[in-house]
Amino acid sequence: MAAQDKARQDATQEDGQTTPREARALTPQTARGEATRQRILEAAEEVFGEQGYYEASISEITRRAKVAQGTFYLYFHSKREIFAELVVDLGDRLRAATNAASQGAGNRISAERQGFQAFFAFVAQHRRVYQIVQEAERVVPEAAQIYYQRISAGYQRRLREAIQAGEIRPVDPEVATYALMGIAHFQALRWLLWSDSDTATVSPDVLDAIMAFITQGLEQPK
């Protein structure tokens, strides 16, 4: 757990942006408080994912988190604030998962494969993440922008390093980053979120096809 928390902290600090979590005053001071806050966030993910922002209620979030409604206000000022924090928290967890998965990859192409695998696994486990993030674009657009920008920042840095190391062809890191993010987004929609099965996965054949396409675009010409 400590290693996971460290990975999430590294992901949070990677681009130096201030997040809703860092800006607010209701930060837990103890491990127990942080565990309670996280439990409330996990309940909020369920409630917002199932009911949407406008139908969700603080009372339902606290009921599922098994805490008193007054406890909610020890950590969050409002429903809007926890929704914004949830978006940023999901982004932190996603980036921590993909960063951890790509550690130790032999080259950038291998890191892409491992990162895509981790991304698809995360989406399969958190199927409501897209509904939450897409709704955030209307409800708390600043949090949605942070979500995408923070993913992009680390991705661009790693592509830039791979270009400098001669592992991939010279490309515009920002353009390539958003192209790769788009591939991941729509492949997750097609194979995971549009599936009638709650246990849908991205098959090895599909992952191979995705990676063949990405490799063709990134690999150094021979």
- Structurally, the chain folds into a number of domains equal to 1
Q: Look up residue 95 and give its two tokens.
A: 């980036």
Handedness of CA 114, 115, 118, 123 (dihedral sign): negative
Residue range 149-189, pLDDT digits in tens? 999 999 999 999 999 999 999 999 999 999 999 999 999 99
Predicted pLDDT of residue 161: 96
Q: Tokens representing 28?
A: 């837990």
Share of the chain above pLDDT 70, in %: 88
For the stretch 143-160, pLDDT in tens is: 999 999 999 999 999 999
Name the residue range of residue 102's domain: 2-24+77-218
**CA–CA gap between residue 115 and residue 175 (Å, rounded):** 18
Quick check: is 30 in a domain? no
Give the CATH number for residue 158.
1.10.357.10
